[in-house]
Each structure stands twice: as structure tokens, then as C-alpha cells.
Amino acid sequence: MAITVVGSVAFDSIETPAGRRERCLGGAATYFSLSASFFTDVRVIAVVGEDFGSNQEAVFHARDIDTQGIERTTGKSFFWEGSYLDNLNEAKTHTTDLNVFAAFEPKIPVAYRDSEFLFLANIDPVLQRRVREQMPDVRLVAGDTMNYWIKDHRDALLLVLKGLDILLINDTETRVLGGNKNLVQAARAVMALGPETLVVKHGEYGATLFHSTTPKSKGAEFRAPGLPLEVVVDPTGAGDSFAGGFFGYLASQPELTPAVYRRAMFYGSVMGSFACERFGTERLQSLTRKEIDDRFILFRELTHID
């Protein structure tokens, strides 16, 4: 099944202990698309400026990602500058220039209308909602957000949450959105706001899947480990790559059973681990399906007991 994703396609300047990159291709929708493209067809909705050229577009096309929903307009593309010098687990943001995203009016190309899966990457919840409303018939909707929207745009976000089947956020976001320091209680509070399924990402420690409708005795929670990585070059996009692997795998399956959700969590962790191995999207661009499957086995081995 095809996935339509809306989110940022951007340029990032990144500094990590491994070095610095200026204006490399980035953005949540970019990482998500590249990651999900190893599992299913992906269609992107975003807006870019005049600085987005054929080199950038070629990155999407090399993975057969449909870019007709990427609108070109005058001005500059979304720009983010951040560093991870003290802590590889948390970016320090130096600059966020919305640029062309400030006046973005998302439009869904006709060819995208039959997408059965929709991913609302981390952008203004008002934009997430507009896309959601234009695609009322999708089978499964997942989304991401961040503390800025949770804290300062809560009402708009709450409207988005009502239309989500799956929310993917991190520990801190779960605690803030759920208003509870205890992760399990916070997760339950978040699911009460709409999404039946919640994926809480723990950075290097993996991620936990919560389902509101599964009785606790039947394995309502599932933990995918993080891979202990000897070299973390650049964690930018790891969460979006996780989401791409998770949702991409779901979209590739004929039936969404509990076992499929569990495997999707592992594919999420697999894709997140690859994303960290080089700067920006470099590792996702060079990746092969064989490498993904080999790492899936490594992840399984990492937690498997007889």
C-alpha cells in the first residue's frame, strides 16, 4: 500500500563530535520517505524554495519516491541548524528558519488520493490537520509532533490527535503531553486523546509500543531495543527514520496483526540505527534491503532468549 507523507523537506547544517556539514538535505519528510521507501511506495507533500534543485530531487527519485506533491515556490527552503556536541541524544537547535513553510497551503495531488496510509510528520498541527481532512478515506494515519507544538499549540494538536491511529513521540514528549511523570500512565493519558497506538521512542534505548485496546495480560506493551552503536556520526533524522521503517513495514503487510506491529517496531529500530551511522541522509541513500534484513536478524539476536 502506498504511503503519503506530509512534512518538512529542508536543508540542515549539523555539527556533531564527528564533524560538521553545511546545508545537507534534511527534513522529517525526507528521512521518513527514504526510510519507508525500502518497504513500500512513498509520496511526499511538502514545499521547497528555489534552493531545492535537481541534486536534491535526485535523492528522492533514486528511491522511486513520488515528488509531484513537493511544491516549488519563490524563496528559500526550510532551514535548520543544530549541534550535538555535548549530548548525542539531544540536538541543540541554533536556527530554525521556516522560510517557504510559513505560508504553506498543502495540496494533495490527484495521484496521491488512493494512498491507504498517511503519515503526518512533525510540522505545524494546523498543516497536519489540513492534510488529514483532505484524505478522509485513508486506512491508517500515523503522526509525529514535538514539545514546541505540545506546549504552545496544544489546542491545534489535540484536533490532530483525534484523527490519528498511531502517534510516535519520545519519552519527554509523552510525559509532557500526558501530564504524568510515569511513562505508562502518561502513555495511557496520551492514547485517551485519540491514538489507539502509541510508539514512545527512547533514543539509544529503543522504543516501546503501547496499544490502548489490548489487555495488559496479552502483551499490550512491546519493547524494541536500540542497537548499541560503536560510532554515532549524526543522530539527525533517527526518529523520522524509525517512523519510516515502522510505518513502511506496516504498509507493506496484508494484515495488521500484533505480530506485524512487533516486527514493525524492530524495522523502526533498524532504520533509526542506520540513520545515525553517517551525516544527514548519506547512510539511507547507500543502504540496501539486504543490509536491512541482516540488521533485523542482529536486532532479534540482541534480545532473543530460548
End-to-end CA distance of the chain: 35
Considering only 55, 228, 288, 290, the residue that binds its own copies (CB under 8 A) is 228
Q: How far apart (Å, rounded) are the C-alpha atoms in residues 27 and 7?
A: 7
Q: Which residue type is seen at 162?
A: K
Q: Give the nearer residue to its own copies in terms of CB position, either 204 or 282.
A: 204
CB atoms within 10 A of CB 68: 12
User: Which helix (H) or strand (E) element contains residue 211?
Assistant: strand 207-211
Q: How far apart (Å, rounded) are the C-alpha atoms in residues 42 and 65?
A: 5
170 binds its own copies (CB under 8 A): no
Structure-block grid coordinates of residue 270: 533498524
Q: Give the nearer residue to its own copies in terms of CB position, either 50 or 294.
A: 294
CB 36 to its own copies: min, Å: 20
Q: Which residue type is seen at 208?
A: T
Considering only 222, 246, 247, 279, the residue that binds its own copies (CB under 8 A) is 222
Sign of CA dihedral 84, 90, 93, 94: negative
Choices 2-10, 45-53, 127-135, 216-224 (CB under 8 A): range interacting with its own copies: 216-224
CB 293 to its own copies: min, Å: 14
User: Which helix (H) or strand (E) element contains residue 26?
Assistant: strand 19-26
Report yes or no: 68 and 27 within 8 Å, Cβ to Cβ: no
DSSP 203: G
User: Rounded to an integer, what is the distance from CA 38 to the centroid of its chain?
Assistant: 14
By CB under 8 A, the residues from 75 to 114 that bind its own copies are: 88
Considering only 61, 219, 286, 293, the residue that binds its own copies (CB under 8 A) is 219
Q: Give the nearer residue to its own copies in terms of CB position, either 98 or 183.
A: 183
Q: x-or-dash pattern for its own copies, window 247-286, by CB under 8 A?
A: ------------x--xx--x--------------------
Contacts of 107 (CB under 8 A, 6+ apart): 45, 69, 71, 134
CB 8 to its own copies: min, Å: 29
246 binds its own copies (CB under 8 A): no
Q: Give the nearer residue to its own copies in terms of CB position, either 8 or 273.
A: 273
Interface with its own copies by CB under 8 A: which residues? 17, 88, 181-185, 187, 202, 204-206, 208, 210, 219, 221-226, 228-232, 259, 262-263, 266, 300-306
